[in-house]
Amino acid sequence: MGASDQQVSDATCDVAIIGAGPSGLAAAAVLREHGVGVTVIDEQPRAGGQILRQPPKNFSVAHWLPAKLYYRVKAALHAVSERQDIDWRFQSTVLGILRPSAYRTLRADASGAAGPESAAVRSHMERQTSVAGPDQKLGGDAHELWIQGPSGCYLLRANAVLLAPGCYERPLAFPGWTLPGVMGAGAIQGFVKSQQFVPGNRFVLAGSHPLQLVVADQLLTAGAQVAAVVFTQRKQQALRMLRHPFVALRHHRQLLETSHILRRLRRAGVPVIFGHTIVRADGAHAVEKATIAEINPSGTIDHHKTHVFECDRIGVCHGFLASSELARQTGADMHWKDHAGGWLARHDDWLESSIRNLFVAGEITSVDGADAALEKGRIAAVGILRSLGRLDDNRARSLASNARKRLSHLQRFAAVLQQLAQPPAGLALQTMSDDTLLCRCESIQRGELQRALADNKHVLSADAAKLLTRVGMGLCQGRLCGDNVARVIADARGVQPDEVGPFQAQAPVKPVPLAALTRGRCS
C-alpha cells in the first residue's frame, strides 16, 4: 500500500514493523515466507532506512551506492521493496505504542451509540488490566500503535510489534555548532547517497568514527573539496585492530575498503589528522572556518595548539545513539551502554523485550552495523513466529541458527570498532564553553544549567533539570541535547550518565500538528 492510498482508519494486522531499514526489511521477508501479514511503518517516502537512503522514485541516480559495503543491505531491500503482499505505510510516524484500551474499542465500535459496556468489553478490560505474574512478561498479547500518516492520525492494532527505529548521530556541542553549515557527517552523506547532491563546497569532517572516511570518499567522488578529515584518536589507537587478528581476517573486505579510501584521500591531497578535535566554528552568518585543537595523551584539549581550516561545511561524527524513545515510552526495560548506542532495550534470546510481543532489532539493541541489523531482523522474525505459535521451539532454533552464527561474528567486529571509535573521556564537557548553547530548542546555555544545578542540589536527574530549566522541552524532545545534559549533570554530581537517566519519554514521542489530530481518529 502506498502512502497516497492510505486511509485514516483504525485497523488490525498480524505484525507491525516500525522502521524500514535493514532489520525491518529482513524481518518482513522472513515473516512473509511463513504467511504472516506484515505492516511496515516508516517516516521516509521509501524503504531502506538511513543506510540506503533511496532517491525518489521519479529521480534516476546512476551507479547508486556501488560500494561493496552496501551489497548485503541492497539485496535485502530488493528482495521485498516491490512486494505487493506487504502493507507499506511510508511518511508515517509512530507517536506511541499503547496498551489496548476497551474504551477506544468501544468508542470505535459504538458509532456514537450510548449504553452500558458489553460483557466482551468488560472481559477485555479485565484481561488487559490484570497484573502479570513474577515469571510473565508485562503487557497484553496485542499492542495499539498511534500513527500519524499523510491523512491524519489513526490507531493500528498488532498482535506483535517489531521495533527497529535505527539510530542518529551523537551530537557534540562546541562554540558555533548552531551555525548554518554545521551538520552530522551522516546527514551530509544522506544528501550524497540519495541524489548525489553535494550540500556545500569545502568540507571539514571531524569526530571519532570511521564513517568520516566513507563520507569524505563519497564527497570527493561527487566533486566536492575536502579540506581535512580529523580524528580524536591518536594514530597508535588505530593499530588496536592488530590485537584481534582473527576478527581482522574475517572482515578483511571492510579493512581493505578502508585502505583503498585512505589511498584515494591521499592522492587527492586530503590531510587525515589524528589526535585532534573540533573546538569551534566561526562565520558571520554561516560557517566560514573550523578550528581544531590537539588532544594531549592524557585526553585533555590543548587550546594553544590549534589549526584553522577555511570551509563552508563541517561534518561531525562521534558515534551514534539508538532512537530509544518509543522503547522507553512503552516502559520496556532499558540499560546503558555508552559507546554501543546509549540507552538500549533489554531482550531475551529471541529479541523479545520485557514487554510481551514487543520485539526489538537493529540499533535499539546495540549499534553493530547494517549487516548485523539484518541478522537481528531475521532472528526477531523467527522469535515472532514462535511467539505467535507458527513455529515450535525446535523449528525456530533450527531456522535462526545460521543468523545467530553470522551475528556472533559481526558483533565481534562491531565490538572492536566501538573500542576504536571511542572519543576521549570527557571530550563533550571540554568542547563546551559556559556560553555554548546546550539546548538549541529552548536556547539554554551550558552555564545556565550549571548555575541551576549549583543552586538546586536536589536535582539529580535529567527530568528534574527539565522541570527546573526547560532543557529538553523543545521540538526535538531531548534528542539533540539529552546526552550532553546527562553528562553535565553527571559531572556536577560526581556520578555516571546512566545514573542521571534519560528524559521521560511519553506519547506523542515526536511533535504532531493539531491539524493532524483533528483529521484522524485518535482519542
Domain 433-500 matching CATH 1.10.10.1100: the answer reads: yes
Same fold, 171-318 and 433-500: no
Buried/exposed code over 174-206 (b: 16+ C-beta within 10 A; e: otherwise) = bbbbebebbbbbbbbbbbbbbbbebbbeebbbb
CA angle, residues 198, 65, 253, in degrees to nearest 5: 120
The answer to whether 330 and 134 have CB atoms below 8 angstroms apart is no
* Beta bridge pairs of residue 157: 12, 144
Exposed/middle/buried for 121, CB within 10 Å: 0-12, 13-18, 19+? middle
Q: Which numeric CATH code is attached to 3-98+139-168+321-418?
A: 3.50.50.60
Rounded CA gap, 432 and 280, in Å? 9
Is the confidence at residue 239, as pLDDT, over 70? Answer: no
Rounded CA gap, 253 and 22, in Å? 20
215 CB-side CA count, 13 A: 32
Task: Give the lowest-confidence range in 83-92, 139-148, 180-189, 318-327.
Answer: 139-148
Strands 444-445, 437-439: pairing kind: antiparallel
**Band of the pLDDT at 113, cuts 50, 70, 90?**
very low
- Cβ neighbors of 313 (< 8 A, separation 6 or more) are 181, 182, 183, 188, 199, 200, 201, 202, 203, 204, 287
Is the confidence at residue 127, as pLDDT, over 90? Answer: no
Tell me the per-residue pLDDT of 244-267, one tens digit each, with 9 for 90 and over. 555 655 666 677 788 889 999 999
Q: What is the pLDDT of residue 63?
A: 75
The answer to whether 480 and 442 have CB atoms below 8 angstroms apart is no
* Mean pLDDT calculated for residue range 205-210: 95
Cα 76 from chain centroid? 19
Q: What is the pLDDT of residue 490?
A: 97
Rounded CA gap, 473 and 490, in Å? 19
Task: Give the lowest-confidence range in 31-35, 67-71, 188-192.
Answer: 67-71
Is the confidence at residue 51, as pLDDT, over 70? Answer: yes
What would the grid cell of residue 54 be?
Answer: 533511496
Length of the chain: 523
Domain boundaries, the chain: 3-98+139-168+321-418, 102-138, 171-318, 433-500
Number of other residues whose CB lies within 10 A of the CB of residue 68: 10
Number of other residues whose CB lies within 10 A of the CB of residue 349: 10
The answer to whether 180 and 285 have CB atoms below 8 angstroms apart is yes
Can you give the C-alpha Rg of the chain in angstroms?
Answer: 24
Number of other residues whose CB lies within 10 A of the CB of residue 454: 10
The answer to whether 106 and 56 have CB atoms below 8 angstroms apart is no
* Beta bridge pairs of residue 138: 355
Cα 431 from chain centroid? 24
Tell me the per-residue pLDDT of 343-397, one tens digit each, with 9 for 90 and over. 999 999 999 999 999 999 999 999 999 999 999 999 999 999 999 999 999 999 9
What would the grid cell of residue 284 be?
Answer: 558571520
Grid cell 506484515 is found at 38
What would the grid cell of residue 67 be?
Answer: 560500494
Rounded CA gap, 486 and 489, in Å? 5
Global pTM? 0.89
What would the grid cell of residue 274 be?
Answer: 589524528
Rounded CA gap, 14 and 37, in Å? 5
| CA distance readout (Å), 108 to 101, 145, 173, 520 | 11, 15, 47, 12
Rounded CA gap, 407 and 347, in Å? 15
Rounded CA gap, 161 and 15, in Å? 6
Classify 171-318 by CATH class: alpha beta
